[in-house]
Structures are given as C-alpha cells and as structure tokens.
Structure 1
Amino acid sequence: MKILLIEDELKLAGFITDGLKHAGHVIDHAADGSKGLETAMAGSYDLILLDLMLPAMNGFEVLKNLRSFHNQTPVIILSALNDTEHVISGLDLGAIDYLKKPFDLEELLARVRSVQRRSLAQGGLKLQVSDLKVDLLSREVCRAGKQVILSNREFSLLEFLLSNPNKVVTKSQILEKVWDMNFDPGSNVVEVHLYQLRKKMDRGYETELIQTVIGRGYILKGEVQKG
C-alpha cells in the first residue's frame, strides 16, 4: 500500500517509516498538519496515519478538511491524546481507527493489515491473469505453477499493474503509486525494476504478460479472474 504518515516527532516518524517499508509499503512523510493536508490532497494514498498534536494545523482540522473536500482515504489516528472524548471525536470526523501512543510496531502493522484486507476484499484477494496467479495478501506469486520470488518493490509494481489490467499506465503514474513523492522523475528506476520484473515473470514463456507501449507506458495484458 501507499501510505502517508503525518507526524511531527521525527524519531517516531523514522521508526514507523522503517517498519512499514520493511513490510513492503511505500511511505511518504509530512511533519506538520498543513503540509500533510496538502500532500494528502495532491497524492493518491491507500491509507493516512495521522497524529493529532501537529504544528500549523492539528490532526482534527486535517481530518475535517479531508472529508469536507470529499477525500475518503482511510485514516488511522496515532495520538497520545487517548481519553474517550478525543477518540470519539476522531472517529466521528471520519477516522476508521485510533491507536494510542505509545504503541508497539507490530500492533500498528496489524491495524494496517486490517485496512489492507478490507481494501483487497473489495477487488478480490487472489487474482489470476492467464497462467499467472497472485495472492495479494500473502504476496505469493506463481506462473504456470512455478513460484516467482519478487522483492517488495517488484511486488508493489506488479500489484499496481494488476490493479489496472489491460490498461496502459504511464511512468508518472507508476512513480506516483509505487515510489515516494520525492523521487526524481528523470531517474530510470522504473525501467530497471520493470526489466527485472519482466525477466522473472515472462522470460521462458511463450506469452509476455507485461508489455511496453512505445511512447505511452506499460500494460499487463491477459484475462483477469478474481477469486
């Protein structure tokens, strides 16, 4: 998933970012409420982790503004303000969960997985494209019955292609969804990772599932079955 963390405690933010990246997620970070709101509105995120006691704009204001602008990205509040009144206020404003500080990283990862399961369930937890089978929750990939071992970034790239089957996606769209907001768009990192992914997925097979559309982008072609 692509996650936005809005947190002003830099040490904690670094701890959370490292943990989520290790779990295979793509993370952007904003250190104040105003920048967090701007980033949330400009980007495309699967989840927002939101502190409440933020400079420039507090978390309640960020959440209220998000919902007033019809941004329905799931929000989990992370806060030391743990009395019942604050919890209720956050949930009433549209947060889906409230995690009290201090918390264990494994507890946060469990909450994130819960959001991910809900999201995946809407589109199907398992996908099959031709002879390629992908379990989006366990992150297992098989082609023609043979397991394909992918890095976290390669799996995120495949997941994005699978979310847009038989549609051309541009390099800019891939950078936005699979890499963080500060990544240099002039880099060839997309081409390098796509080359590695195609080598693992398509080399040795009669049909190439991932194809380049010259001048436009890339496409994952095949009959998609959800299960």
Structure 2
Amino acid sequence: MKLLVVEDDSDLRSALVEGLRHSGYAVDEAENGEDALFQYETENYDLMILDLNLPERDGFSVLEKIREADLEFKVLILSARNQAEDKVRGLDVGANDYLTKPFDFIELEARIRNLLRRQFIQEKTDLEVAGIKMSIDKNQVLVNETELKLTKKEFSILRYLLMTPNKVVSQEELISHVWDSHANQFSSSIRVHIASLRKKLKEQLGYDVIGTKVGVGYYLVKETGEEHV
C-alpha cells in the first residue's frame, strides 16, 4: 500500500516516513499543502496522513480540494489541534479519521490498517486464490495450510495480486501500489522480488502460480494446467 505523509515538521515527518516504511508501506512525503495536492494529483496513493497547520495551503483547504473530485480517497488527519470544533470541522470536510498529537505510533498504524481495509470490496481482510490464503490482519500467508514466510515487499506484491485475481498487473501498476515514487520502473529490483516470491510459492504448490504475459505484466495462475501467456 502506498501512503503520502503531509507534515511540515521535518523531524516528525522523517520519523513517520521511516516508521511506516519499516512497517512495509511505500511512503512519499510533502512538507506543505501545495506539494501535497501536486503529489496527490500525479501519483496513485491509497491513503494520505494530513497535518492541518501547513504552509502555503492549510490541511482543511487541501482536504476540501480533494473532496471536490474524489469522495472515496482515504484521508487521516494527524494534528495538534485537539479542540472538538477542529475535529468536527475535519470530519465534516471529509476526513475519514482524526488523530491528535501527541500520539502512539501503534495507534496510528491501527487506524491506517482500519482505513485501508475499507478500501476494498466488502472490506476483505482474508484473501484466497489457488490454494493461497492471506490474512491481512494477521500478516500471515498459508499455502496449502502451511505458513509461508515472506518479506514485506513480497507480502505486498502478493496481496495486490490476490486483490486483483482476474487481471494482468503491469510492472508500473505494482510500482504505483507497492513502491514509493522514487522507485525506478526499469530497476531489476522489482523482478528480483517477483522471482523470490514465485520461487517460495512454487516450492509449496508444486507449480508456478505467478504467470507472466511478456511485455504486459503478471497474473495469478489459478489452476495447475492453466497456460502461462
């Protein structure tokens, strides 16, 4: 999942970005409201963490601008403003959640997970395709009932493939949802992660469950006899 952290305090912003990346998210950052809107309009994010006291354009204005065009995008306000009036205004303008500073990072993570679960059809937290079962809540993958140990990037790639089981996913789309905006789409690191994930799954399933359509992208092979494109 790809997040945008909008915070003008550089120390707090760096700590948030580092902590969320350590938790397995792809994270970009913005230090003012104008940059936040520019990045929102040019990148594909799953959720924005938004401060209110921002230079150039404040958080309320950023949120109002987003809601003019998009009612579904997830926005979590993270602000030192702890008055009821500010919370009510933030939620009325269109925030999905409001957390005040100071805060516990584990609570922020829990709220992010809760919002991201709502993003998918009927908010599935358990996914299953071709003998692969994933529990997003437990951060667990079972293949034929045997737990599979994956890196955070491998888990994120597999999660996206499981969430889009009936389509071929391009490398660019995977970058958009699993890597931050600094990722180089021509880098071999993406193919390395795919190869490692493919090997681990094949060892458990007995066949290659990640198919490749040359020049297009990757897809899940749902049956042993299904032909790879």
Q: Give me the TM-score of the superposition, normalised by structure 1.
A: 0.92
2:106 maps to 1:93: no
2:124 maps to 1:134: no
- 1:1-227 paired onto structure 2 within 5 Å: 1-119=1-119, 122-203=122-203, 205-222=205-222
Deviates most, 201-210 or 27-36: 201-210
Against the structure 1 CA distance between its residues 167 and 120, is the aligned structure 2 distance closer, same or farther, given a 3 Å change threshold? Answer: closer
Residue ranges of structure 1 left out of the alignment (5+ in a row) = none
The Cα of 1:137 is off from its aligned counterpart by 1.6
The Cα of 1:123 is off from its aligned counterpart by 4.2
Contact 2:144 2:204 in 1 (8 A): no
| Deviations 1:31-77 (CA, angstroms, capped at 9, x unpaired) | 11111011112222221100011111110110000000225211111
Partner-residue secondary structure (3-state), 1:75: strand
Residues in 2 aligned to 1:116 and 1:73: alpha-carbon distance in whole angstroms = 10
Fraction of identical pairs, as percent: 39
Residues in 2 aligned to 1:10 and 1:161: alpha-carbon distance in whole angstroms = 35
Deviates most, 149-158 or 80-89: 80-89
Contact 1:48 1:75 in 2 (8 A): yes
Contact 2:144 2:205 in 1 (8 A): no
Contact 1:166 1:221 in 2 (8 A): no
Deviates most, 154-163 or 36-45: 36-45
Query: 1:85 corresponds to which letter in structure 2?
Result: E
Residues in 2 aligned to 1:80 and 1:134: alpha-carbon distance in whole angstroms = 36
Contact 1:66 1:72 in 2 (8 A): no
Residues in 2 aligned to 1:71 and 1:59: alpha-carbon distance in whole angstroms = 16
Residues in 2 aligned to 1:20 and 1:198: alpha-carbon distance in whole angstroms = 26
Partner-residue secondary structure (3-state), 1:203: helix
Residues in 1 aligned to 2:83 and 2:123: alpha-carbon distance in whole angstroms = 36
Contact 2:67 2:94 in 1 (8 A): yes
| Deviations 1:165-208 (CA, angstroms, capped at 9, x unpaired) | 13111111111111001112221111010001001111364432
Query: 1:101 corresponds to which letter in structure 2?
Result: K
Query: 2:209 corresponds to which letter in structure 1?
Result: L
Residues in 2 aligned to 1:157 and 1:94: alpha-carbon distance in whole angstroms = 30
CA RMSD of aligned residues (A): 1.7
Query: 2:133 corresponds to which letter in structure 1?
Result: K
Residues in 2 aligned to 1:219 and 1:186: alpha-carbon distance in whole angstroms = 19
Partner-residue secondary structure (3-state), 1:119: coil
Query: 1:29 corresponds to which letter in structure 2?
Result: E
Partner-residue secondary structure (3-state), 2:133: strand
| Deviations 1:106-133 (CA, angstroms, capped at 9, x unpaired) | 2211211221343357242212212211
Residue ranges of structure 2 left out of the alignment (5+ in a row) = 224-229
Query: 1:210 corresponds to which letter in structure 2?
Result: I
